[in-house]
Amino acid sequence: MSTLTDKLDLSGRVVVVTGGSRGIGRGIVQAFAENGAEVVIASRKLENCERVAAEVSAATGVRAAAFGYHAGRWDDSERLADFVYETFGRCDVLINNAGMSPVYGDSLANVTEELYDKTHAVNAKGPFRLCALIGQRMYDAGSGVILNVTTAGTLRPGIDDLPYAMAKAGLNALTLALAGQFAPRVRTNLLMPGGFESDISANWPAGWKESAAAMNPMKRLGVPEDLANLAVFLASDAAAYLNGAQVLADGGLFRTL
């Protein structure tokens, strides 16, 4: 009988992480590599992906590949899917983590058409296309896991990041649909982080991070490792019965407001 440690072992599996060169994505890449998985780091700046791939390979000994990928460009998802299968011959875990939340002030009237379209393209359109392409190949191969990273803000959106929350809410809907479409061969689950130390929080207005930490029952923001460990569990055989799960990782803030 296999132990929990055995079930968490991801040796030999191929994992694709979008937005994997920094922040939460970088933490996810590291955690999967430390648990034996081969990783594909996909993000807009190829040189950053190459640097992370070299660091991860040196630290863990696993195979890591870099790919320049813009989630907001439809054809880039096809290029990424082809690269993964041509390079590794398979994909066992797809993690749609890439995201953007441009700052536009305290008025929705400040939101331009360009900002709105760009936000939806990166946060919703790209993951939709990548799930369709890789998810179908996983299904045809007989197994796989899709993890989509959205935000706790989809449950309680505010006007300060509404286009972002709307786009991520679309990704929530996609996740639940795929949990039915691709099961039982492919499991699809949702990670919903609250306030985290990330690329997005780095652009918050002055004082926001301190205020968010003070409000949180855990008295801190999340760190990439918090979500990375959860992603490893959900992708592993230890979570074999979890499909369509919506996992809120916000330190308990949503439940106490």
User: For every one of its 257 residues, what pLDDT tens digit does the chain have, with 9 covering 90 and above?
Assistant: 789 999 999 999 999 999 999 999 999 999 999 999 999 999 999 999 999 999 999 999 999 999 999 999 999 999 999 999 999 999 999 999 999 988 888 889 999 999 999 999 999 999 999 999 999 999 999 999 999 999 999 998 888 889 999 999 999 999 999 999 999 999 999 999 988 887 667 766 777 788 888 888 889 988 999 999 999 999 999 999 999 999 999 998 877 65
pLDDT of residue 200: 66
- List 69, 116, 139, 164, catalytic entry: 164
Which residue in 148, 98, 89, 119 sits closest to 81, CA to CA?
89
Partners of 41 in the beta sheet?
Answer: 17, 66
pLDDT of residue 232: 98
Q: Are 86 and 61 in contact (CB under 8 A)?
A: no
pLDDT of residue 204: 67
DSSP E strand boundaries for the chain: 14-18, 38-43, 64-68, 93-96, 144-149, 186-193, 246-249
202 contacts: CB under 8 Å, gap ≥ 6: none
26 contacts: CB under 8 Å, gap ≥ 6: 20, 52, 224
116 is catalytic: no
189 contacts: CB under 8 Å, gap ≥ 6: 145, 146, 147, 148, 175, 179, 234, 239, 242, 243, 244, 245, 246, 247
Residue 244 amino acid letter: G
Domain spans of the chain? 10-250
5 contacts: CB under 8 Å, gap ≥ 6: none
Beta strand pairing status for 38-43 and 14-18? parallel
Partners of 64 in the beta sheet?
Answer: 39
Q: Among 3.60.21.10, 3.40.220.10, 3.40.50.300, 3.40.50.720, what is the CATH number of 10-250? A: 3.40.50.720
DSSP E strand boundaries for 114-229: 144-149, 186-193
3-state SS assignment for residue 84: helix
53 contacts: CB under 8 Å, gap ≥ 6: 39, 41, 64, 65, 66
